[in-house]
Amino acid sequence: MYDKSDPRSALAASKGTAPAMTGLIAEPQVALFYEQPPQLEDASGKVWLHRGNNFVLAYGEAAPGGVFERKGQPDEYAVMLPNADQPARISAGGETVDVPGFSIAFVPPGDSKIEMPRGGTLVRLFTVKSDDLAEACSNAGAYDVARTHIPPFEPWPEPVGGWKTRHYSLDVPKEPGRFGRIFRCTTFMINYLDMQVGPRDITKLSPHHHDDFEQCSLAIDGSFTHHLRWAWTVNMNDWREDQHVFCGSPSSTVIPPPVIHTTRGMEAGDNQLVDIFCPPRMDFSQKEGWVLNADDYPMPQQT
């Protein structure tokens, strides 16, 4: 359910109209990094680790000159540099690339190193194949009970031209009919939403749900309230009270399917939210012009 001004109103509607079947009813996963101690801390900086079903989010505050290495990384991972004055130098696959601040980068499998010459905010996204990170998360045990309604993770096709570090500026102007600033790789889709200045208009909210995938909402600036509603199933034991989860920044909220949700920016100033999906979303990918680096990362073949 979207306001007519929301580009997502053009997405295909869900086909299901029958009452939801009984099944696993999962709780949201919330990490308020500003209130919790980091899971990792050394001379390079502090890192908070928070996981979803398929992924690990590593939110870092790097010290100047901080170095963050991965040895034998099993798959591609994502990097976000939210601040324009905090660049990174990424070494992977035999090459070194200088990545400006306010960028997204995708780093190939294998050995890699990220250097933060000026320090600052460094967000990395890994799949749970990085089991050392998954086991260190603040909510490491939250997925001990399998989420049977979420399909097994499958990576998307390898990038055109082979593995290398690719990076993209987030300085992308708004365009009518396009939703946010969306980039994808083989493992993740990142929607760096347009900055919301001031509280969100409560007459133009967007309550909706996802049938079989999680949404991670990372608060970079400002504060947000995530409004969550569990649909009634045929089994009353599944029913839950609505939740209204307030999160400042930085914080991470993982919303489980099929919870109905919508989010309000709350601050008078800047409110910056980033939506993360693992693997990429097919519906967003099928919208012409929405994925800004679609030429580099092909979609799976449709059967």
Phi, psi of 34 (to 5 degrees): -75, -10
pLDDT score, position 17: 47
Would residue 299 count as lying in a domain?
A: no
pLDDT score, position 25: 78
Separation of CA 125 from chain center: 8
Would residue 93 count as lying in a domain?
A: yes
Cα–Cα dist 139/30, whole Å = 9
Give 199's contacts (C-beta < 8 A, 6+ positions apart): 264, 265, 266, 267, 268, 271
* Joined tokens for residue 271: 């409110």
Would residue 32 count as lying in a domain?
A: yes
Phi, psi of 27 (to 5 degrees): -90, 155
pLDDT score, position 23: 65
* CA distances for 110 relative to 40, 76, 290, angstroms: 22, 9, 30
For 228-250, give one letter per residue: b (16+ CB within 10 A) or e: bbbeebeeeebeeeebebebbbb
Cα–Cα dist 18/169, whole Å = 43
Would residue 57 count as lying in a domain?
A: yes
Q: What is the CATH number of the domain that holds 169?
A: 2.60.120.10
Would residue 297 count as lying in a domain?
A: no
pLDDT score, position 16: 46
The sign of the torsion formed by the CA atoms of 51, 253, 59, 294 equals positive
Burial of 223 (0-12, 13-18, 19+ CB in 10 A): middle
Would residue 276 count as lying in a domain?
A: yes
* Joined tokens for residue 223: 């504060």
The number of distinct structural domains making up the chain is 1
Give 37's contacts (C-beta < 8 A, 6+ positions apart): none
| Range of the structural domain that residue 166 is part of | 7-285
For tokens 């980033």, the residue is 274
pTM of the model: 0.93
List, run by run, the mean pLDDT of 10-residue segments along the chain (303 residues). 69 55 82 98 98 98 98 98 98 98 98 98 98 98 93 97 98 95 98 97 95 96 97 88 98 96 97 98 97 98 74
Would residue 190 count as lying in a domain?
A: yes
Task: Note whether 79 and 57 are within 8 A (CB).
Answer: no
